[in-house]
Amino acid sequence: MKYTSLALAGIIIGGIAAILVLKFIMRCVEAKHAERARRREEEAVPVSPPASGTYSSVDVRVEMGSVDRFLDDILREKPARFTPENLREFTGDYAERLGAGGFGVVYRGRFPGGVQVAVKILHRTLDRRAEEQFMAEVATAGRTYHINLVRLYGFCFDATTKALVYEYLENGSLDRVLFDAAAAAALEFDTLHGIVVGTARGVRYLHEECQHRIIHYDIKPGNVLLAGDYAPKVADFGLAKLCSRDNTHLTMTGARGTPGYAAPELWLPLPVTHKCDVYSFGMLVFEILGRRRNLDTQRPAESQEWYPRWAWQRFDQGRFGEVMAASGIRSKDGEKAERMCKVALWCIQYQPEARPSMSSVVRMLEGEEQIARPVNPFAYMATMDAISSSSSGGGGVSTATSASASASGDSAQSTRHDICH
């Protein structure tokens, strides 16, 4: 009888234990299913890129019913795929136009959480090359993040609307500030120097710190945007091309860049490397140093010349004080100004291999690396001037005209190779 009672008690205890274990397992399964359901709700539905594009990053379609999920995606730095309805809601039906360019119109907008954005609506009549540039912008800006690069929040790509959505920067593009006499005069030289250094850091990131080297191809004041504190951010990767860090040859059709900023090799059937960005950066530095366009026929007689060559001649003759006086630079800023000038002269060397890397540029600008005395970056132009003079029957050709022709080049050149190394 005693053993029977013990056996019965054991069975009862075992049954209770089995029931508890079963309940525990069921609760674990339920919790796992709940977690999976929660994750599915948080994640947006994946979408495929357009057939003509090359975008391969993970993107999401935003559903306005869940602001929290939308903001989570933004914080995870995933470029979101917006709908045309989203864009109309962001911009208040395109109420405030910020500006226009060759590819479209930019409007101010606002996310549901209050974050301001700039919405670039592209022209509907995009050709195949423009669509490729659009997808290059998404693929490039969507996978990079740096304090000196404009952030891409997302894009819209459907039959009726093609758009890019960026962070909004209060002070607009550098050219609007720099080439407005009153606005430029109000800027302290330290602010201008900070714009130069910050822009250099952004380009350095593209060249040397990304998983894949990115060549921008169009560094200029219009593609540098300024935050409220004038912190610069490099923008507009529409002309960029991702390159392997290996010596990969890529075929590139048609000239790239903007006349006056584009390196000579971009307009000639010559090998092109990331050093073309270094050249463009040097031209940008000269415009910041002079607070004027490099070629400005509306200014006094000394400014009729091409400014970089004018500055080189003064620097070479030990008359850099004239450069400072023309730009209103005070003596206390003379060291930084001369450093900027020397860096710019090295950046615009005709031979790409003579130009410094962007990491070296940053160190020189910050005073962490000695700057060798620059050599004449315009020696090649003496031959061009002689040829131009002889072909015009002995008549002189102005420096500005020669420089402009050299900068513009022949845009009819068609196919050459990029060397990304």
Residues 56-109: pLDDT tens digits?
A: 333 444 444 455 555 455 445 568 899 999 999 999 999 999 988 767 899 999
Point out the domain boundary residue: 116, 142, 167. Answer: 167
pLDDT of 388? 57
192 in the same domain as 111? no
292 in the same domain as 209? yes
Give the separation between CA 94 and CA 71, rounded to whole angstroms: 22
pLDDT of 41? 45
pLDDT of 142? 75
pLDDT of 383? 64
* b (16+ CB within 10 A) / e for 243-264: beeeeeeeebeebbbbebbbbb
Q: Do the domain assignments include residue 47?
A: no
**120 annotated as ligand-binding:** yes
Point out the domain boundary residue: 151, 167, 183. Answer: 167
Write out pLDDT tens, residues 11-43: 777 667 667 666 666 676 566 555 555 554 444
pLDDT of 145? 85
Instruction: For strands 162-167 and 224-226, give the pairing.
Output: unpaired
CB atoms under 10 Å from CB of 6, counted, come to 10
pLDDT of 116? 95
The domain containing residue 92 runs over which residues? 60-167
Longest Cα pair distance anywhere in the chain, in angstroms? Answer: 132
218 in the same domain as 141? no
Cβ 283 vs Cβ 257: under 8 Å? no
Phi/psi of residue 68, nearest 5 degrees: -60, -45
pLDDT of 321? 97
CB atoms under 10 Å from CB of 128, counted, come to 8
Altogether, the residues listed in the chain come to a count of: 421
Q: How far is CA 10 from the centre of its chain?
A: 74
pLDDT of 417? 37
pLDDT of 410? 37
Q: Do the domain assignments include residue 16?
A: no
Q: Which amino acid is at 241?
A: K
Q: Facing residues of 165 across strands? A: 119, 154
326 in the same domain as 194? yes
pLDDT of 227? 96
For residue 1, give the DSSP letter: -
3-class DSSP assignment, residue 394: coil
123 in the same domain as 197? no
Q: Do the domain assignments include residue 87?
A: yes
pLDDT of 31? 63
Q: How many H-runs (helices) and E-runs (strands) does the chain carry? A: 14, 13
For residue 208, give the DSSP letter: I
218 in the same domain as 84? no
Nearest to 234 by CA among 226, 243, 242: 226
Number of domains in the chain: 2
pLDDT of 24? 66
The residues that are catalytic are 218
162 in the same domain as 232? no
Give the separation between CA 292 and CA 151, rounded to whole angstroms: 28
Give the separation between CA 379 and CA 167, rounded to whole angstroms: 43
Give the separation between CA 58 and CA 47, rounded to whole angstroms: 8
The string of DSSP letters for 284-298 reads: HHHHHHHTS-SS-TT
pLDDT of 1? 55
Alpha helices in 162-274 (DSSP H): 174-178, 181-186, 189-204
pLDDT of 400? 44
- Which tokens sit at 136? 């290059």
Q: Do the domain assignments include residue 371?
A: yes
Mean pLDDT by 10 residues, the chain (421 residues): 60 70 65 56 39 38 49 60 95 92 86 93 74 75 86 88 92 93 92 98 94 89 95 82 50 63 87 94 97 79 75 97 95 97 98 97 97 94 63 48 43 36 37
pLDDT of 75? 46
238 in the same domain as 89? no
223 in the same domain as 89? no
Q: Do the domain assignments include residue 40?
A: no
Q: State the CATH number of the domain containing residue 180.
A: 1.10.510.10
Q: Which amino acid is at 181?
A: A
Alpha helices in 43-95 (DSSP H): 67-75, 84-91
pLDDT of 10? 66
Interacting residues of 56 by C-beta distance below 8 A, sequence separation 6+: 49, 139
Q: Facing residues of 214 across strands? A: 242
pLDDT of 187? 93
pLDDT of 13? 72
- Which tokens sit at 313? 């001649």
Cβ 135 vs Cβ 126: under 8 Å? no
181 in the same domain as 130? no
Point out the domain boundary residue: 126, 146, 167. Answer: 167
